[in-house]
């Protein structure tokens, strides 16, 4: 009985949220909600960042728009995707695509299909058409190895969404820094091991990717940034094999 009650609550929660936050000021392209507000989010609090219906942040909304406009993800052709460290709201959207066979992975946890380290991906060469890996590489000590592994498991002609926070001109890292407070001060978060700069695409090209770089201003236009809750200079990266 309790299971049925919990299931009913879950099914009702989503449409009730859409109704409660209904408005015309903002739009979330992931959950397709027209909403009157966006919530604050982040360690350093950011205003108008989080969708109150699905929980998506700025980077997720921009990535979704880029995937819609500049990739083959929604073309209806069968695809196999590896979704690394899956975000619930994106995973839900991906699962709705009948042509997409999505496999989720993370280093630990029973919320995913496969537990693995992305510096040693447990799939054969040329397995996936798409890899989605957002805001993960800044946590990985050997990010070059992770990039090489993603490249390895992609099919020829495949592509990967490989977003990271870009918060500097030049990438800085120091593996000797393990103190969480120092990492927070130098890299922006206690579990980050580097701060990526505008040279980030060079790392991707060094392992073989052809990189396309998109800014929010390019994708939605300067006049529509506020509607999607995006900053003009927020970036998204697609690496093709």
Q: Which of 166, 168, 137, 141 is nearest to 151 (CA)?
A: 137
Backbone CA torsion sign across 192, 197, 202, 204: positive
Q: What is the pLDDT of residue 30?
A: 94
Q: Select the more confidently predicted residue: 88 or 135.
A: 135
Q: Where are the domains of the chain?
A: 1-56, 58-215+232-240
Phi, psi values for residue 25, rounded to 5°: -75, -40
CATH class, range 58-215+232-240: alpha beta
CB 14: neighbour CB atoms within 10 A? 14
Helix (DSSP H) and strand (DSSP E) numbers for the chain: 8, 14
Compute the distance between CA of residue 203 and CA of residue 129 in angstroms, rounded to an integer: 21
The answer to whether 190 touches 138, Cβ cutoff 8 Å, is no
Tens-digit pLDDT profile for residues 212-239: 999 999 999 999 999 999 999 999 999 9
Q: What is the three-class DSSP state of 105?
A: strand
The pLDDT tens digits for 151-205 are 999 999 999 999 999 999 999 999 999 999 999 898 988 999 999 999 999 999 9
pLDDT at 226: 94
Answer yes or no: is pLDDT of 7 > 60. no
Reported as a single tens digit per residue, the pLDDT across 21-43 is: 888 899 999 999 999 999 888 77
Partners of residue 105 on adjacent β-strands: 84, 114
Of residues 44 and 74, the one with the higher pLDDT is 74
211: pLDDT strictly greater than 60 = yes
pTM (two decimals): 0.90
């Amino acid at each position: 009985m309790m299971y049925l009650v919990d299931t009913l609550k879950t099914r009702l929660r989503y449409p009730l949220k859409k109704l409660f936050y209904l408005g015309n000021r903002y739009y979330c392209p992931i959950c397709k909600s027209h909403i009157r507000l966006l919530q604050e989010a982040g360690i350093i609090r950011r205003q108008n960042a989080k969708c109150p219906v699905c929980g998506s942040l700025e980077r997720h909304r921009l990535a979704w728009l880029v995937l819609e406009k500049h990739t083959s993800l929604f073309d209806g052709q069968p695809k196999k995707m590896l979704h690394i460290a899956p975000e619930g709201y994106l995973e839900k959207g991906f699962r709705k695509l009948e042509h997409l066979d999505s496999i989720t992975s993370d280093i630990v946890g029973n919320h995913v299909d496969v537990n693995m380290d992305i510096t040693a991906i447990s799939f054969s060469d040329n397995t996936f058409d798409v890899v989605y890996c957002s805001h993960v590489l800044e946590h990985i000590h050997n990010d070059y190895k992770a990039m090489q592994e993603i490249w390895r498991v992609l099919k020829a002609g495949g592509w990967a969404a490989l977003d990271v926070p870009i918060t500097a001109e030049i990438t800085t890292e120091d593996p000797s820094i393990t103190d969480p407070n120092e990492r927070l001060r130098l890299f922006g978060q206690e579990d980050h091991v580097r701060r990526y700069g505008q040279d980030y695409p060079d790392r991707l090209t060094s392992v073989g990717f052809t990189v396309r770089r998109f800014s929010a201003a390019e994708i939605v236009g300067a006049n529509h940034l506020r509607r999607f809750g995006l900053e003009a200079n927020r970036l998204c990266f697609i690496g093709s094999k």
